[in-house]
Structures are given as C-alpha cells and as structure tokens.
Structure 1
Amino acid sequence: MTYPALTRAKSTAAAIFLVATLGLTACGPSTSNFPGQPTGTGGPNNPTGERQRESIFGEEGLKLFGGSSDDAAGSGIGVNSFLWRASLDTISFMPLASADPFGGVIITDWYRDPNAENERFKITVYILDRRLRADGVKVAVFRQARDERGDWADARVAPATALQIENAILVRARQLRINTIEASERR
C-alpha cells in the first residue's frame, strides 16, 4: 500500500470512528426540551423528566433472597411463590425434568403408575402471574400408552385432568398463603 493510500485509509477509518462515536452519543439520555416540559427535564424517551434506574432484570431488578415486605409475590423468584411451591407439592410424586422459578415453568419426566404399567404421564406446569390468581397457573398433561408392539404411542388425555391438577395446585397455594399469614400474625 502506498503512502497516499495509507493516509486515505487512516482518514476513512477516523471518519467512521467519529460518526460511530457521535451516533452512540446520540443514544444517551436526552436533556433536550420535550413539548409541554420545562427546558432540560425531559425528552422523547422520558417525557416526565423522572430519573429511572435501568436494569436488564426489569422494573424490580433481580431478587435472589427475598424482596421487600410489600412484595405481593412473597419471594425473589419470578413468579408467585405460593403457586410455585404448591405446584411442586402437587406433582411431587413425579420425577422432575426441569424447573425454572424465574420463567415459571415446571416440566416432569415420564411417570408410570405401578398399577397401570401400560400408560405413562408427563406434566408441564406454567405459572403465568406474580399474583395468586385462579388464572395464574396452566397445566398441560401428556399421556402415552403401549401399543400392540410394546412401543409408546401418544394417547388422548381426558380434558378434565389438567383442570383437576390446576385446581389442586390452587387449593394448595391458598393453604400455603393462609399458613403464611397466620404465622406472621402470631409474631
């Protein structure tokens, strides 16, 4: 590469660096005036001008060992702790394949009842809310039965099965919540 070509390459690289730096600087918090706001207090991304703590873990941040006393969910996990514990209690007879307390998903491995050797079940529990609500839990039940060759084949599950498990989880969650309230009142 010749000296003039090298100089042009350096100039081009410096120009690209300058444009990138200015572009990234423009992504910072705005101190410009937004219509209806006093000068320097807001911007298009913050019309009220309030300083907010930003976190990649959401509004409440990451809580590993509990939260504040006014935490509606009662724990530092990502879902309602009563629904979480009730779900684990309700399906405790089945082997767990996966449990994600931040995403609210519990997946069991296949379970065979000793009294029914030709069928097996698998359950996935989805906890959908941080509040203890009837629609805060969803259960999916999968069933397989042995065919005439002895292989496992997907089989139909009675529609009421998932609903019965959801109701059992909700009853247990309410019991856990009542026990927690009574224990805190005794202190």
Structure 2
Amino acid sequence: MRHIRLAVLLLPLAIAACGQGRTVDNSEYGDSSRRSRVSGRLGGSDGILLLGTDRSGRSGDGSEAGGAGLGVNAYLWRATLDTLSFMPLSSADPFGGVVITDWYSPPAAQGERFRATAYILGRQLRSDGVRVSVFRQELRNGSWQDAPVAASTNTELEDKVLSRARELRSQTASR
C-alpha cells in the first residue's frame, strides 16, 4: 500500500522530468507549415478540448489565433520580445504569454537598475492585449533598494509594444 502511495506521489515528477526543451527559431512564429495537424479536440472540431490546448489555429470565438503553436497573439508576442530586447531575457513563455527580463542597468544611470514583466492577455490583437510592469531599484549603501517607477513608464512600454505589433501585422498583410 505504501508503495502505491509513493508511486502516485512520484508520478507527476517522473512525467515532468520526461519533457524535452528545444530552441525556438524566430521563423517559427509565422510559419503555418509548423501548425499542428491535430485539432487538439476529442470528437472533432466541436468536441472536448484536450489538455487546454487548441491547436486548430482559431480561438474560442472562431477568429484566427494569430500564430502557429502560440498560446497568445503572435504579433503581440513578437512585438513584446522586440520592444524588451534591450534588456536581458530571463524567461519567456509563449503559451502562457509571459515575458520576464532580468535586471538591466542603463549605461547613463549608474546606481539604478530595471526589470520588466510583460503579460500578453489573449489571442487577439487588441489595445488592451498587453500589460507591462516595470520594477526599479537604486543602489543605496551597497545594497539594492526598491524605488518607485513613474506611472507613465508602463503605459509607454505597452504603447511601444502595440505600435510594433501593428507594424508587424501590416508587414505581413503587404506580403
């Protein structure tokens, strides 16, 4: 009986250890040939969604998903990565739509550093589809202390992401 309990407790850990990571090439974001051939639904396109991933290429409301294999809008995803590319990347989850940067110290501002977290909120290109939070620290007495960030900083970065996403969409439409 104890062996069964132990096996049940260790099963999720064993499954998680089986996952394999791979490097994602930038060209994969818009390449529809890499789109999964499996619909991800039990019983056809109108069936039950399996494991929370709809790989059919359309969102729940029937509109295009905007990216092959991404859980969020591909234009917003690419624009977020482009906009925050001046900061070192700590983590990026294209299925959950979260980009986290590492601390960045601008050359002109010694003694302060910034990091950002961006959330892509859906599969549609909308003006409220991205949220950026910027964090700032100052070096005081040899240790980093949290400091306030101007309220407009988050909004300015969100606007830059949206502008870049519109630019990427128009480039794709003109091809």
TM range (shorter): 0.5 to 0.7
Alignment correspondent of 1:15: none
Counterpart of 1:128, as a letter, is L
- Three-state SS of the structure 2 residue aligned to 1:82 is helix
Which residue of 70, 82, 87 corresponds with 2:75?
Answer: 82
Q: CA deviation at 1:100?
A: 0.3
* Separation of aligned partners in 2, 1:171 and 1:125: 15
Which residue of 48, 56, 64 corresponds with 1:54?
Answer: 48
Q: Counterparts in 2 of 1:93-172, with a 5 A limit?
A: 93-147=86-140, 149-172=141-164
Alignment correspondent of 1:176: 168
* Separation of aligned partners in 2, 1:56 and 1:133: 27
Max radius of gyration: which structure? Answer: 1
* Separation of aligned partners in 2, 1:77 and 1:51: 18
Q: Is the 8 A contact 2:65 2:72 kept in 1?
A: no
* Greater Cα offset, 112-121 or 152-161: 112-121
Q: CA deviation at 1:115?
A: 1.3
TM-score scaled by structure 1? 0.64
* Separation of aligned partners in 1, 2:68 and 2:163: 19
Question: Any stretches of 5+ residues in structure 2 without a counterpart?
Answer: 1-43
Q: CA deviation at 1:53?
A: 2.5
Q: CA deviation at 1:51?
A: 9.2
Alignment correspondent of 1:91: 84
Residues 119 and 133 (structure 1), Cα distance of their counterparts in 2 relative to 1, 3 Å cut: same
Q: CA deviation at 1:128?
A: 0.2
| Greater relative contact order (CA < 8 Å, ≥ 6 in sequence) | 2
Question: Any stretches of 5+ residues in structure 1 without a counterpart?
Answer: 1-49
Counterpart of 1:155, as a letter, is A
* Separation of aligned partners in 1, 2:133 and 2:73: 19
State the Cα RMSD in Å: 2.0
Alignment correspondent of 1:27: none
CA deviation profile, 1:133-160 (whole Å, cap 9, x unmatched): 000000000000011x121000000000
Q: Counterparts in 2 of 1:33-44, with a 5 A limit?
A: none
- Three-state SS of the structure 2 residue aligned to 1:135 is coil
Kindly tell me the number of residue pairs found equivalent between the two proteins: 128
Q: Taking every aligned residue pair, what percent have the same amino acid on both sides? A: 53
- Three-state SS of the structure 2 residue aligned to 1:83 is helix
* Separation of aligned partners in 2, 1:158 and 1:75: 36
Q: CA deviation at 1:71?
A: 2.2
Q: CA deviation at 1:62?
A: 3.6
